[in-house]
Structures are given as C-alpha cells and as structure tokens.
Amino acid sequence: MPRLYKTDGEFMKLLYVITLPDLGGAQAHLLEVARAMVADGHEVYVAVGKSGWLTEQLTELQINTIIVPELVREISPVKDYRVVCGIKKIIQNIRPDIVHCHSSKAGIVGRVAAWLAGVPAVFTAHGWAFTEGVPAVKRLVYSLIEHTMLLCTDKVLCVSEYDHKLADKWFGYRSEKLVTVYNGVANGERSAIPSDMEKGQAELQTKELSLIMVARFAPPKEHLQLVKAAEQVLKSGYAVRCNLVGDGPLMAECAEYVRQHNLSSQVKLLGARNDVSSLLHASDVFCLISNYEGLPISIIEGMRADLPVLASNVGGVPELVEDGVNGYLINRGDIKQLAEKIICLLEDKNLLMNMGKKSREIYLEKFTSKVMIGKIKSVYNEILQ
C-alpha cells in the first residue's frame, strides 16, 4: 500500500462520498479536507447526489466531481440498491486507496459499496442520529443501522469527545474503530476592506449588541428561540440587533413571527450568503441555538472571528464553548436564560471583548484545519499500514 506522505513520489487516491451539495457543516468540512489533500499532491474525487454549492466550490478548485443522481436523502430501496451498485462501479474504475463517507445516507451506501469493492472505508459522523434530543424511536433505528455498518467500516471519525463517548456507549465492543477528530477551519484574518454592512454595524456597536446566527432553517436548529430571546431583551429596554444567515424549510415560519411581532427593524433574515466572514466580523456575538449538535463548524468560524458565543448546551458544543470563559452555554429550550446572557454581554463591553479574544485563542489551539487535517492523515496512514 502507498504511504500518505509522498516523500518519494508516492501518492494516494481518495474518494469522498456525500449526499447533498447544499451549504452546511458537513459540506464545508469535506471541502476543507479535499482542498488540503489536493494541495498535498494526492488525487481526490468527490461523489455527490446532485450539483450545488459544494460542486461549484470543487469545480473552482479543479477537484474531480462525480454526480450520482440516485444518491438522495430519502429512503428508497430501488434507488439505494442502484446507488450502491453505481458507487461500487465508480470505486472499481477509480481504484481509490480509501473511500471516506460523510452524512448519514452516503455513509451507509458508500461504506457498503466500498466493502463490496474490497476498499477500506472511513466514515465521519457529523453528529449521531441517536444522540440526546432525537426522538427515541429514531435513536433506536439509527443505532441498529450503525451497529450493522461498523462491520464494513475501518474507522469512524467522531467530531467531538461527546460523540466518541456516545458511540463507545452504544458500540463499546468495537471501540477500536472510533477516533475523535475535531472539526477545523482554515485560519483567516479580518477583511482589509469592510463590507457596507460591516461599516453600518461598526457605527451601531456602541449603541446596541449585534447578534448573528449562521445555520439552515431546519431541525435541529431553533432560530425562533433566539428571536424570542431578542424580543425579551428589547422589551426590557435594551438595544439589540439579530441577523439570521441561512435558508431552509422553517425560514417562512420565522419570517412570519418577525412580521407579526413587529420585529422587522431589529431581526433580519438574510438568507444564504457568500460573505459570511464579513458578516461575522461586523457582529458582536455569535449564537447557535439548537436541540442537538455534533461539533458545529459555524461556532468555530465565529470563534475564529473573535466573537464570544451563546450556544445551546448540547452535543459537542461544551468542547468549543467554555461557559463563562469564551461565551455562555444555554440550557436546551431556555429562552429566558438566553435573554439574560444577551443582557449580560450587552451591559459589559469589556467582558464581551475578553470573551471574544478567548474564543480566538481556543480556536488557534484546537480547531484550525491544520490540526484537523494532520489527524485525518494519521488515520489514513494507520489504515493503510
């Protein structure tokens, strides 16, 4: 087997498989990994169900992209059988050294196809479907599926220690297949030329607190809880502005609440954006309110931008946010506590600034893409050796 590092001209072929191309944490993670592997001189292919944000980014980087139309999120025995056969054929044509799968559906069909083709398979679990906060029946079903899938998996990468311990609890007899690899994002500095929104926010920062949440309007996210907390803060006589970045099926419901409660001047639904970095740097506090999580990349991006974090105390979030150090952890569904912490930061700008600096320090120590890629390479090497 070839070694990962091409110190003497050797290289690897890597096939990544993911279900959807929509902008999200798993897609951003995969793009970062694919970019790094190509930069290291390896041959990378990405199989995805359809064209979208991810395929556009991959094309710009001249990374090989393969569309597999049958690869859809919904369960369909006929399509699922076809997609397994299709991915198996792709594997046989490309002959990769490792198949690395992301997202639940791709994680199943991709690993089965790799097993049938006799190629090592890796799966990154971006948060388990049997975590706390998921309905009991769904937890049971997905745990049984993962029990079976471990038979054709060489390594499972857990994005947090929380997920690692959870999987170890369910799959303790196969714990040697589990390894924690924290999500990471590339280092970046504040934009030299601020956007129009950033200029506007800079003028407002001395008068009000600017909150930002970057997430799809879909479960497990809870945008409405943040909106209601901001509403409580406003009713208490404080000035706060809330920007919600993202789109999704629950966006209309949130927009209707904002309209009915006359919050349109303080709460902005910005939709999907390509200038998230600038929007973060124009904000005071990053928020992520949800029912369950793995290790959210959006929080890491907020930390990279020197922002204190208000986030639900779920999943791997406490491994990013040290309560009272670089932000506050909010109990699941506790809108009153969220409003209180917003006011706490609004009243103490020095606290806000110090927490933001601490976020940046924690990011640089643990959550850069360099750290993440190094650990993934180590896993690949271990498998091939």
Distance between the two ends of the chain, CA-based, in angstroms? 7
If you count them, how many residues does the chain have? 385
196-366 matches 13-184+368-384 in CATH topology: yes
**What six digits make up the tokens of 312?**
């639900």
Does 77 or 264 have the greater pLDDT score?
264
pLDDT for position 173: 61
Cβ atoms 309, 297 nearer than 8 A:
no
The CATH code belonging to domain 13-184+368-384 is 3.40.50.2000
DSSP output for 317-346: GGGT--BTTTEEEE-TT-HHHHHHHHHHHH
- Reported as type and span, the H/E element at residue 79 is helix 77-94
CB-based contacts of 173-179 (< 8 A; 24+ apart in sequence): 174/150, 177/150, 177/153, 179/155, 179/375, 179/379
DSSP output for 239-288: -EEEEEE---TTHHHHHHHHHHTT-TTTEEEEES-S-HHHHHHT-SEEEE
**For residue 182, how far is the Cα from the chain centroid?**
11
pLDDT for position 142: 80
User: What percent of the chain has a predicted confidence (pLDDT) above 70?
Assistant: 92
Does pLDDT of 128 surpass 90?
no
* Segment 158-184, tens digit of pLDDT: 999 999 998 888 877 678 899 999 999
pLDDT for position 137: 82
**SS3 of residue 120 by DSSP:** coil
pTM for this prediction: 0.84
What's the CA angle centered on 123, arms 121 and 128, to 5 degrees? 150
Tell me what the mean pLDDT of segment 142-155 comes to: 89
Does pLDDT of 275 surpass 80?
yes
pLDDT for position 141: 84
* Segment 279-295, tens digit of pLDDT: 999 999 999 999 999 89
Tell me what the mean pLDDT of segment 311-316 comes to: 95
Tell me what the mean pLDDT of segment 243-266 comes to: 97
pLDDT for position 191: 38
Does 42 or 140 have the greater pLDDT score?
42
DSSP code, position 154: S
pLDDT for position 197: 43
Tell me what the mean pLDDT of segment 208-218 comes to: 96
* Segment 10-68, tens digit of pLDDT: 689 999 999 999 988 899 999 999 999 999 999 999 999 999 999 999 999 999 999 99
Q: Which residue is it, tokens 């994002």?
A: 185
Quickly count: other Cβ atoms within 10 Å of residue 39's Cβ: 11
Does pLDDT of 315 surpass 70?
yes
pLDDT for position 372: 96
Does 76 or 88 have the greater pLDDT score?
88
Quickly count: other Cβ atoms within 10 Å of residue 50's Cβ: 15
**SS3 of residue 292 by DSSP:** coil
**SS3 of residue 314 by DSSP:** coil
Which superfamily is assigned to 196-366 in CATH? Answer: Glycogen Phosphorylase B; (3.40.50.2000)
Cβ atoms 29, 124 nearer than 8 A:
yes
d(CA 152, CA 310): 39
Does pLDDT of 3 surpass 60?
no
Q: Average the pLDDT over each of 9-18, 75-84, 293-302, 342-351 and give the range with the smallest value.
A: 9-18
pLDDT for position 198: 44
Domain boundaries, given as residue ranges, for the chain: 13-184+368-384, 196-366
pLDDT for position 117: 97
